[in-house]
Amino acid sequence: MRVFKIFVLLLVPLLLQTNWEILDLPTDRGFTEICAIDEQTIFVAGHDGMWYTFDGITWSLDTMGWPSAPWFADDTLGFLYRFEDGDGLGTFRSTDGGRTWTPITDQNGDTLRLGGFSFPKGQNMIGYALLLLDGGRVVKTENGGLNWEVVSPFPDVYSEAEEIIDPRGTSFPSEPDTGYVPADCIEKVPIGGGEYDYIERYSYFKTTDGGQTWVLNEEGLWNDDFNPSYIDFPQNPNIGYMAGTLARGSDFVGYVYKTTDGGATWDTVLKDRPYIVSMCFPESDQVGYVFGDSVAHKTTDGGKTWKEAVITHDSTFYKCHFVNDSVGFVTGHKNMTLCMPYDPGFVLKTTDGLLGIAEDDWVDVQPELVEITAPALFSRELACRYQARESGRIRLTLFDAAGREVQSLGWCEVGCGEGSLSFNGALLPTGVYFIRVEFVSARGNENQTLRAVKVR
């Protein structure tokens, strides 16, 4: 392992500072997923196979299929999905810290194909995963991943249409029975001739009884704009984060939401960021990292404030993994567009939580003068919650999908703090509406636009 200076440009061009530690792997090609048990025991999925080290210096290559997403529940129990030539070999299990791997098989002796693992902290017996080739069903183990059973299916989302439910991961943070599964909820709308339109909406399911029953979150994040790709409840099932992308016309921007009440409500804590590729809150709900394109974001106060830094200028990050609040790793590609597995890549390490960047070079992400949220769905009342960072005047105007003004609440004087303003939606026809928010204060003006859908 060596510390490379800024003039070494073959792996990571134009590093912002000189003390990034670049892990000296025998290749610079195709690094994707990464997982570390500690500073010395590291697993990196790559185009050639899985690279691993048990001393942080000497690297070996496991070439049995292409690996995807190595994951460890603790310092001994790990899981790894391997595939080859487009056909999966299946999921393998380790009970000795990744030194040996054995396939996980069903009662017929066939290798299971599992992903999206989650074991509650301190647990190495009860855990959950996704059965990849069975419509994304959730499975559960009670013996450390040796055997898996399918839990109850998700409830129907569209009562009068065919549907496809595509779960994206699992998070069971501390209690074996309480967990979350973000999902794409796709409605199949027949258009004649045996053809369908596929309408995607995104939300998540929650269980409090170990997967016996599931509840769809119909407020919070439920919409067809925000796609929650990453979920992290680091300490308990009440405080957690979801990160993903929000559609802005033909562009996609990164958003991070936080809940403190088990998913009943969500607040925006980071918005309009580059396309988010990875998120990690390693030890608590206070210290976390978010990576998007070539930009790193960090919070140390539970998402109240963020700092950001551009670390590379013609490369993009792929995945991060932090052992604790200070020690972490991140992979990336020297290709801002495609991120193909054979692209030149890099694996970076930090031991101080600063990612090799001087504290003065972390730039504060400026908070908005006013934060405002509205339910994605409403029926009679459309209640908008706001938090103003200083006193000022606010006006909310409601428009229909054609851009016609429907209602206006007029200018209201507001003080620093929280409050709410509501539209009367009882007589409005069903459909899509947009809320224009105007805020004026001594520090300046801000305009925002929110989206909501009127349902019966």
Q: Quickly list DSSP for 302-344.
A: TTSS-EEEE--SS-EEEEEEESSSS-EEEEEES-SS---TTSB
16 part of a folded domain: no
Same domain, 396 and 258: no
Report pLDDT for 200: 80
Residues 383-398 have a mean pLDDT of: 88
299 with 406, same domain: the answer is: no
User: What is the average pLDDT value for the chain, to the nearest integer?
Assistant: 83
Q: How confident is the model at residue 104 (pLDDT cuts 50, 70, 90)?
A: very high
Instruction: Give the Cα separation of 13 and 313 in Å (integer).
Output: 7
Q: Last residue of a domain, which of 364, 382, 411? A: 364
Q: Are residues 178 and 268 in the same domain?
A: yes
Q: Are 13 and 20 in contact (CB under 8 A)?
A: no
Domain final residue pick, 364, 389, 423: 364
Give the pLDDT score at 363. 67
Whether 375 is covered by a domain: the verdict is yes
pLDDT classification of 11: cutoffs 50, 70, 90: very low
Contact 318, 15 (CB under 8 A): no
Residue 78: pLDDT over 90 = yes
Pair (325, 210) in one structural domain: yes
Amino acid at 188: K
Q: 122 and 49, same structural domain?
A: yes
Q: How confident is the model at residue 46 (pLDDT cuts 50, 70, 90)?
A: confident
Are 171 and 305 within one domain? yes
Does residue 15 surpass a pLDDT of 80?
Answer: no
CATH code at 56? Answer: 2.130.10.10
In a domain? residue 1: no
For residues 359 and 377, membership in a common domain is answered with: no
Question: Stretch 45-63: mean pLDDT, rounded?
Answer: 89
The confidence band for 10, taking pLDDT boundaries of 50, 70 and 90, is very low
Domain limits for position 393: 370-454
CB atoms within 10 A of CB 449: 10
What confidence category does residue 34 fall into, taking pLDDT thresholds of 50, 70 and 90? very high
* 3-state secondary structure at position 278: strand
Domain-located, residue 426: yes
DSSP annotation of 17 reads S
Using the structure block, give the residue that is written with the tokens 């690094």.
Answer: 31
**Domain final position from 329, 364, 399:** 364
Q: In sequence order, what are the residues at sequence separation of 6 or more whose Cβ sits closer than 8 angstroms to the Cβ of residue 340?
A: 30, 333
Least confident of 117-121, 305-309, 374-378: 374-378
Residue 18 pLDDT: 35
Q: Is 323 a member of any domain?
A: yes
pLDDT above 60 (res 340): no
CA distance 88 to 85: 8
Whichever domain contains 393, its CATH number is 2.60.40.2550
Same domain, 222 and 292: yes
The verdict on residue 4 lying in a domain is no
| Residues 148 and 125 reside in one and the same domain | yes
pLDDT computed for residue 280 by the predictor: 93
Same domain, 211 and 345: yes
Reply yes or no on whether the pLDDT at 342 is more than 80.
no
In a domain, 5, yes or no: no
The reply to whether 93 and 183 lie within a common domain is yes
Shared domain check, 173 and 118: yes
Residue 37's closest CA among 95, 98, 119?
98
Q: What is the pLDDT of residues 205-255, one digit of tens each?
A: 999 999 999 998 765 445 557 788 888 998 888 999 999 887 766 677 888
Q: Which long-range contacts (CB under 8 A, 24 or more apart) does 405-408 make?
A: 406/433
Select from 276, 195, 290 the least CA-distant residue to 228: 276
300: phi then psi, degrees, rounded to nearest 5: -125, 10
Query: Picking from 28-37, 42-51, 317-326, 357-366, which range would have the lowest pLDDT averaged per residue?
Result: 357-366
Q: What is the count of structural domains for the chain?
A: 2
Sequence-ordered alpha helix ranges (H) in 131-193: none
Confidence bin at 134 (pLDDT 50/70/90):
low
pLDDT in tens, 160-217: 788 888 898 899 988 899 999 988 888 888 888 888 888 888 888 999 999 999 998 7
